[in-house]
Chain A
Amino acid sequence: MLRLEAVSYRYAGAQAPSVVKVSLVLGPGEVVGLVGANEAGKTTTCLVAAGLAPRAMGGDLSGQVTVGGRRLADLPSGEVAAVVGIAFASAQLSGICSTVYEEVAFGPMNLGLPRNEVMARTVRALEAVAIGDLAARDPAHLSGGQRQLVVLAGLLAMEPEHLVLDEPTAHLDPVGTGLVGTAITRLAAGGASILIAEHKTDLLAAICGRVVALDHGRVVLEGAAESMLADPKLERLGVDPPTSVRLRRLAVAAGVDPGRLEVAT
């Protein structure tokens, strides 16, 4: 159980906090979507939930973040990563691994797991996002989308209980996006809890149980994915509704029975 309680965070050197009194609960097996316009606080929320803000970047945090009842701030350095994994939109690599295989194995190696376990997890993670054929390549020479899959695999290999994903499909084509969605669903089925910030509401509609909407750093809407994503307020918040919702609205606006569209989907 990952819990944010009335969390406000201000970046070092910033005038105003980027998120204000945000509360969020992530239970085991849950996939929660985070939506909002750019700069509404999605990335900041992700950094706080993963324990990187303020620990790795300074700034002021009020409220608290707990994992399984323990405060993240109290956990020793390095322990946090074992419990909460985070993938950034920028798909940052370790910088010292010369093959994708090593890059994916990097996390498990840091966790000090036995060699066989490291290798088994690496192979599983590579398969989960279907990049087995990239295993021998140099990660520095991959395309943006391929790098994003490698970073995700690296995270999956650590098998964290909680996963925070900040726009993990930004550079991915529809196939890649689908793979990520499947991998996330499988992880959640295994008991992990996942927070995913995204613009692609079609993806969120497919994999999330709950969705939280941010506006100017505050939670303004939250609820079950289906009803949330159909909420007309979302468009005003800078969020593109899922295709099915969009089509239904277009149909209604044109005087066409939306039911006819639903039959076909």
Chain B
Amino acid sequence: MAATVTAVNATLLGGVLGPVALTLVAVVLPAAVAGILPRLLRVGLVVALPLAISVLVVNLFFFPSGASVLFRIGPVTATAEGLAYAIETLVRLVAITGALVLFYLTTPIGSLVVDLERRGVSARVAFVVSASVRTVPAVIERAGQIADAQRARGLDTEGSLWRRVRGLVPLVGPVLLGSIGEVEERAMALEARGFSRPGRRSLLWAPADSDAERIARWLMVLSVPLLVVAGLTGWLA
């Protein structure tokens, strides 16, 4: 919720100062409190950098109404207006990325899924969410085990690049087949554990929800229409 609100607000706030302040308050501060600021920065950088670079390049050199020239490189011209626009966009990008990464890093998937189910999302949808998140690490682990088995039969994974690429062939098959086969077996195992039974499942626990959190949530939701109104009435120009 916080992530969505931050993202939306970032878009609504004009200028540069607004989004920067928002980022500091809604992203950097909580991250620092949670002790994950370095991790946040690392992941955020990986996620946002490619996009940031393209935003910068495109706007700096190709901004349509750019007039005040900063410098030239060959056929392309960098303009001050372009730079300004690029920076505005970048700070929004940072705010949005930061918010999303913060969400990803601080929400244990288990809590998310249980909460979803508690609020009425069907068990099957909840399962799909859970399973999808757990699938990637599971497949990676399986691929590792398969690689081990093939290396034990002499497959060279440490030689030249060409050898290593060729070495992928005996890995792909078992990984794919194994994953597909496992899906089938898993479906039967779930069936055998009563997963397809109609009616609600009982849930063992629910993530704690304090009053403070609920108030904070409402404030955040309200902030969005407030900003829209403010923007429309020219307050934030």
Do A and B share a direct contact in the complex (Cβ within 8 angstroms)?
A: yes
Chain A contacts to B: CB under 8 angstroms: 50, 52, 55-57, 76-79, 81-82, 85-88, 90, 92-96, 98, 102, 105-115, 118-119, 140, 151, 154-155, 158
The answer to whether B131 touches A96, judged by C-beta atoms less than 8 angstroms apart, is yes
- Contact pick for B186, options A85, A95, A113, CB 8 Å: A95
* CB of B104 closer than 8 Å to a CB of A: no
Q: Complex Cα distance A155/B192, Å?
A: 9
Grouping DSSP codes into helix (H, G, I), strand (E, B) and loop, the B interface class, with mixed when no group exceeds half, is: helix
Q: Which residue of B lies closest to A50 (CB)?
A: B192
Asked if B65 is at the interface of the complex by the 8 Å CB criterion, the answer is no
CA distance A93 to B188 in the complex (A): 10
A78 engages B202 (CB within 8 Å): no
Q: List, in ascending order, chain A residues with CB within 8 A of B199's CB.
A: 112
* Shortest distance from the beta carbon of A217 to any chain B beta carbon, whole Å: 21
Determine if B194 and A96 form an interchain contact, defined as CB atoms under 8 angstroms apart.
no
On whether A85 and B192 interact (CB within 8 A), knowing A95-B131, A140-B138, the answer reads yes
Chain B's closest residue to A85 (CB) is B192
Q: A78 to B201, alpha carbons, bound, how many Å?
A: 12
Identify A52's interface contact among B127, B186, B188, B203, CB under 8 A: B188
Asked if A52 and B192 make an inter-chain contact with CB atoms under 8 angstroms apart, the answer reads yes
B123, B187, B194: the one contacting A107 at CB < 8 Å is B194
Which residue on B lies nearest to A79, using beta carbons? Answer: B197
Contact of A111 among B130, B192, B197, B204 (CB under 8 A): B197
A107 surroundings in chain B (CB, below 8 A): 193-194
> Complex formed: what's the CA distance from A200 to B208 in Å?
48
Please list 17 pairs of residues, one from A and one from B, whose beta carbons are closer than 8 Å in the complex, sorted by A's number: A78-B194, A81-B192, A81-B194, A82-B197, A88-B188, A94-B186, A94-B190, A95-B131, A95-B138, A96-B130, A110-B123, A110-B194, A111-B194, A112-B201, A115-B204, A151-B189, A155-B193
Taking the complex as formed, is B198 at the interface, i.e. its CB lies under 8 A from any CB of chain A? Answer: yes
Given A86-B192, A88-B185, A88-B192, 20 extra CB contacts under 8 A: A56-B187, A56-B188, A77-B196, A78-B191, A78-B194, A82-B197, A90-B185, A93-B186, A94-B193, A96-B131, A102-B204, A107-B194, A112-B197, A112-B200, A113-B202, A118-B202, A151-B189, A155-B192, A155-B193, A158-B194
Contacts of B134 in A (CB 8 A): 95-96
Closest 8 CB pairs of A and B: A78-B197, A81-B194, A110-B194, A92-B189, A96-B130, A78-B196, A107-B193, A77-B196
Contacts of B195 in A (CB 8 A): 78, 81, 94, 110
Considering only CB atoms, which chain B residue lies closest to A91 in the complex?
B189
B225 interfacial by beta-carbon distance below 8 Å: no
Closest residue on chain A to residue B123 by CB atoms: A110
Query: Interface on B for A, CB 8 Å cutoff?
Result: 110, 113, 123, 127, 130-131, 134, 138, 141, 182, 185-204
Cβ contacts under 8 Å, B204 to chain A: 102, 105, 109, 115, 118-119
Bound: A78/B189 CA distance, A: 12
A155 CA / B138 CA spacing, docked (Å)? 23
Distance to closest chain B CB from A48 (angstroms)? 13
Most chain B CB within 10 A, of A50, A78, A90, is at: A78
CB of B107 to closest CB in A, whole Å? 14
B188 CB contact (under 8 Å) in A57, A79, A98, A106: A57
* Contact partners of A105 in chain B: CB under 8 A: 204
Output the least CB separation between A62 and chain B (Å). Answer: 21
Given contacts A52-B191, A113-B202, contact A92 B185 (CB under 8 A): yes
- Decide yes or no: A81 and B191 within 8 Å by CB, A110-B197, A110-B201, A113-B202 being known contacts: yes
**How distant is B139 from chain A, measured CB to nearest CB, in Å?**
12
A98: chain B residues within 8 A (beta carbon): 110
Residues of B within 8 A of A114 (CB): 202
Whether the Cβ atoms of A112 and B191 lie closer than 8 Å is no
Considering only CB atoms, which chain A residue lies closest to B191 in the complex?
A: A56
A138 CB to nearest B CB, Å: 10
Distance, CA A111 to CA B196, complexed state (A) = 10
Q: Which residues of B contact A102 (CB under 8 A)?
A: 204
CA distance A50 to B188 in the complex (A): 11
A residues in contact with B196, CB < 8 Å:
77-78, 81
Distance, CA A178 to CA B120, complexed state (A): 43
Contact among B110, B186, B194, B202 for A82, CB-based, below 8 A:
B194
Taking CB as reference atom, which chain B residue is nearest A110?
Answer: B194
Q: What is the bound-complex CA distance between A92 and B191, given in angstroms?
A: 12
Name the residue on A nearest B129 (C-beta): A96
